């Protein structure tokens, strides 16, 4: 990943992240927290989290379709679904919460696209008790070598203390801190 193009974006939580969402269209990518990058670089791979022992950016579900098959979960934005609601169900930038350490979006080289397992396999297998994001999620069986990462986009979101979201977060934190007092 040494020769990979790295782009960095910083937004206030009230700003439009359109410049990043535009970059996603037509691509396959993996999203992780920026703090996980050193460990990923050390192994040289994006690794499946079959045992659930590594932290997860989007929450770990034991009934995840791709997790159960030893796959790295990826966002597949090569086509636009007829119903855009599917993309909102698991939005890649949602993990870049304000005040956090940000996310890293790793773009997968098109040379691996023919090795991707599409979400439709979930339907073919009638694995309806397992979780998949239709029209959005794809899997890569086994470790995905970082030599197939063509670009990394780092996204950091700064809290806007005057935003309604920040005020609500502050009120929740204050409420939680005051529980049991009185």
Return the top range by mean pLDDT from 36-45, 75-84, 126-135.
Answer: 36-45
Alpha-carbon distances, residue 101 vs 26, 63, 173 (angstroms): 26, 28, 19
Residue 4 CB neighbour total at 10 angstroms? 13
Confidence of residue 174 (pLDDT cuts 50, 70, 90): confident
Residue 8 CB neighbour total at 10 angstroms? 12
pTM: 0.86
Of residues 66 and 174, the one with the higher pLDDT is 66
Cα 153 to Cα 103: distance, rounded to the nearest angstrom: 8
Domains located in the chain, CATH noted = 5-178 (3.20.170.20)
Cα 138 to Cα 182: distance, rounded to the nearest angstrom: 51
Residue 60 CB neighbour total at 10 angstroms? 13
């Amino acid at each position: 990943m040494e020769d990979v193009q790295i782009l960095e974006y910083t937004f206030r939580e009230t700003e439009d992240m359109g410049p990043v969402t535009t970059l996603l269209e037509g691509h396959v990518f993996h999203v992780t927290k920026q703090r996980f990058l050193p460990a990923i670089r050390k192994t040289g791979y994006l690794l499946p989290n079959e045992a659930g022992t590594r932290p997860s950016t989007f929450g770990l579900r034991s009934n995840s379709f791709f997790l159960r098959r030893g796959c790295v979960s990826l966002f597949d934005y090569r086509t636009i679904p007829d119903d855009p609601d599917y993309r909102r169900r698991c939005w890649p930038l949602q993990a870049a919460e304000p005040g956090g350490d940000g996310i890293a979006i790793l773009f997968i080289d098109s040379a691996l696209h023919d090795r991707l397992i599409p979400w439709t396999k979930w339907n073919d297998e009638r694995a309806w008790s397992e979780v998949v994001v239709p029209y959005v999620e794809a899997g890569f069986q086994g470790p995905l070598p970082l030599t197939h990462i063509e670009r990394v986009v780092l996204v950091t979101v700064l809290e806007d203390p005057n935003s309604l979201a920040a005020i609500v977060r502050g009120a929740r934190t204050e409420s939680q801190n005051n529980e049991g007092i009185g």
